[in-house]
Amino acid sequence: MFPTALFTMFLTIRLAAQAVYQAALYQLESLFVRGTIGGPIPSLRQWKNFNGQVKFGLKSSDYLTPSTFEELKQMVIDARDNGYTIKPVGSGHSFNDITLKAARGKVVSLREKYNRLISVDKENKTVTLQGGMVIRTLCRELEKHGLGLHNIGNYYEQTVGGALATGTHGTTGKNHLDTFTSIIKRLELITSNGDVVVIDGKDSVTIGTLGIIHQITLSCVDMFWIEHRIIPIHNINDFTNEEDVNDLLAKNDFMFFRWITMAGSTERATLETFNIVHDKNRVTPLNNILIQLSILIKYWFLLPVGNYIPVWLSKFITNHIVPLFPERRIDAYYLALAVPGLIAAHFESEWALPHSKLHSVMQHLTKDREEFFGRSVVEIHIRFSPADSARLSPANGKDTVWVDVNVPDLNLNVDELCRNMIKAGGRPHWSKVHHMLAPQIALLGYDFSHLKRMRNDLDPNGVFSTSPYIERVLGHLI
């Protein structure tokens, strides 16, 4: 008993100190740093994605980091002429093998050198940038001009090109009908023969199959700040029926639910609301640090080690430590809506569902948690987005609720989760964990005929559309 208690105390102190360090670093970085941090680190031997799940050997000559349009164009032409493939990668923030290159292939990363802001048109509220710019950096640059993005996803360490190509989304509420794809003014691809082709938002979710997104023009709004409130709720299923959800969406600019559960019936649910304020002077620096700290405790402590600590300790942290942190803050929209980039490696499986199915799905997940997750710590985020015009967006054609399952390891029953989500009319997020194959994907109602025609025109030699993930998930569909 004593060694267990001693080990638990040591682990708690160590991780708490690490969380304090990360929170302080994050806040300092948010104030001073203008560059980019985090993401994959290429070496002569190995490339890793965000959570270390995808690793592959890589010679330095196979990791291409162009700095000019001419260099990028020549790399693509060389691949076509020499019969090898190219896999564009962003920040490596995917949770599956979507970034894995073909055996005879090279990786192109724009994040290192092809990441510049090209122009800001303050009068017309547009911004033009290179595809490798990180979202966080873009938000900071826009803030200098008094501008911001309409919306932002849960992570802002992604490159803008990678986020668009995989259908990244945020959450929404009243009067906020803009998705990431809907704010696209102009999107330029470099195709396999080195040509530049302009596509619109409807074709933006390419999953890397058509070419490299090298230049993007987006619409903007005036810079804004967010009042973020964390509201504890006793039972998440009391709030997930369609009528209550629509009522909450109508009252808040942005909102989402968070539900965390551990073995021993320990659970905590919150409704988090985000409402726009226009007065920068109302920012709450101390509360911002403390709330980021509480988020990091979840990601650096509860998710990674919650499976290995006594039930009494997890209950104590969940019921007595977490509630001590502030439940209100005001910060820049991109700091309030996104979590810190410096979070522990974990896995996510996310599904786009019709609003009408949320209540029944959450009842099943909460009632039969061990059927899906075993005894793992689980955190589920529930976000909302309007119908998306992008043909391969999981939210295409329907108002969508996103159920995002976060776990420390892959002990969750992915196949059972897939079966239940599909039965409820769900579609998987392209860059998160799922086990669906092309024949199953074909039944989800996407318009693959258009993508197939574009692929035949833009990539007839399969320079971009040949990779293990594409062949398994899309296969004959394109």
3 state DSSP class of 242: helix
* Structure confidence by residue, pLDDT tens digits, 132-170: 999 999 999 999 999 999 998 888 889 999 999 998 888
Is the model more confident about 358 or about 341? 358
Q: Residue 358: its pLDDT value, please?
A: 94
Q: Say what the pTM is.
A: 0.87
Q: Residue 373: its pLDDT value, please?
A: 76
Q: Residue 218: its pLDDT value, please?
A: 96
* Structure confidence by residue, pLDDT tens digits, 21-62: 444 544 444 443 333 333 444 445 677 887 777 777 788 889
Domain with CATH 3.30.70.2520 in the chain: 2-31+225-436
Does the structure show a pLDDT above 80 at 307? no
CB 67 within 8 A of CB 114: yes
**Top-level CATH class of 46-108?**
alpha beta
Contacts of residue 2, defined as CB under 8 A and 6 or more positions apart, other chains included, come to none
State both tokens at 265.
């019936």
Distance from C-alpha of 95 to C-alpha of 93, rounded to nearest angstrom: 7
Q: Which of 66-80, 154-168, 249-263, 280-294 has the highest mean pLDDT?
A: 66-80
Q: Residue 15: its pLDDT value, please?
A: 47
Helix (H) or strand (E) holding 250: helix 242-251
Phi and psi dihedrals of 33, rounded to 5?
Answer: -80, 140
Average pLDDT, integer, range 352-367? 91
Does the structure show a pLDDT above 90 at 16? no
Distance from C-alpha of 194 to C-alpha of 384, rounded to nearest angstrom: 38
Does the structure show a pLDDT above 80 at 233? yes
Tell me the pLDDT band of 341, cut-offs 50, 70 and 90: low
Distance from C-alpha of 103 to C-alpha of 83, rounded to nearest angstrom: 12
3 state DSSP class of 418: helix
Distance from C-alpha of 113 to C-alpha of 121, rounded to nearest angstrom: 23
Tell me the pLDDT band of 417, cut-offs 50, 70 and 90: confident
Average pLDDT, the chain: 83
Least confident interval from 53-62, 241-250, 290-299, 326-335: 290-299
Least confident interval from 64-68, 281-285, 377-381, 446-450: 281-285
Average pLDDT, integer, range 375-385? 87
Does the structure show a pLDDT above 80 at 237? yes
Distance from C-alpha of 382 to C-alpha of 386, rounded to nearest angstrom: 14
Average pLDDT, integer, range 415-426? 88
Does the structure show a pLDDT above 70 at 92? yes
Q: Residue 81: its pLDDT value, please?
A: 94
Q: Residue 99: its pLDDT value, please?
A: 86
Does the structure show a pLDDT above 60 at 460? yes
> Alpha carbon of 193 to those of 73, 83, 183, 207, 461: distances in Å?
8, 12, 28, 19, 9
Which percentage of the chain shows pLDDT scores above 90?
Answer: 45
**Top-level CATH class of 2-31+225-436?**
alpha beta
Domain with CATH 3.30.43.10 in the chain: 46-108
Q: Residue 26: its pLDDT value, please?
A: 44
